[in-house]
Structures are given as structure tokens and as C-alpha cells.
Amino acid sequence: MFKLIFFLVGLAAAIVFSALNIGNTSDVSFGFTVLHEIPVFLSISISFLAGAVFTLPFAFFVSLNNKRKKKEQNQKAAKFIDDIRPDDFIPEDLKPVDE
């Protein structure tokens, strides 16, 4: 729920930022070509999106590694629990006495 609220607040801030800077333009050079009179908010937004797109594969890789490690830990714990007999944990004085 909070993620949605933060997303909407961020989106509102981006809209206000773009509305206030609609008249601010600059030239953007790529080395081989120059784009003239590009709005500043547009160049910032495109740069942000490009950074997010290039970051996604790394985040996906880390997520997969974390899931794999957690699965391996769960398998080790399950094997450990399966190897333990319940009688091993009963203290001597609480074991049933045959009369």
C-alpha cells in the first residue's frame, strides 16, 4: 500500500516539475548529432528511464541469486530436521519408565 502511495506522490512531483519547467530548453549533444531546444524535464526523464532500464538486469540477477541461496538453505534445514529423531530430545528423567 505504501509503495503505491509513494509512487503516486513521486508521479505528482514529476508532473509538477515538468509543468514548472516546460519553458526551459537546452541543446543535447550525442557527439555525432545535436538536438536543439529539448525541454530540460524531458532530458532528465529520459536519462532516469535509461538508468532504470540498464539497472534491471543486475537487480534481476541479484534477486535470482537470493532466491536460489534461500532455497538451498531451506533444503539443508529440511534435511537436518529429517535426520533428527524425536527421542533424541527427551531428557532422561522425562522418558517413560517401564514398570
Count up the domains in the chain and report the number: 1
Is the pLDDT assigned to residue 83 strictly greater than 60? no
With respect to residue 27, please indicate whether it lies within any of the assigned structural domains. Answer: yes
Q: Which of 21, 58, 54 is nearest to 40 (CA)?
A: 21
CB 39 within 8 A of CB 25: yes
Q: What is the pLDDT of residue 26?
A: 86
Neighbour count for residue 9 (Cβ, 10 Å): 10
The pLDDT-based confidence of 46 (bands split at 50, 70, 90) is confident
Instruction: Identify the domain containing residue 41 by its residue range.
Output: 18-85
The grid coordinates listed for 86 are 524425536
Across the range 1-10, mean pLDDT stands at 86
Assigned domain for 78 exists: yes
pLDDT greater than 70 at residue 15: yes
29 found inside a domain: yes
Determine if the pTM surpasses 0.75.
no
Is 98 inside a domain boundary? no
Q: Is residue 91 part of a domain?
A: no
User: For the residues 5-29, what does the mean pLDDT come to?
Assistant: 85
Decide which of 72 and 87 is more confident: 72
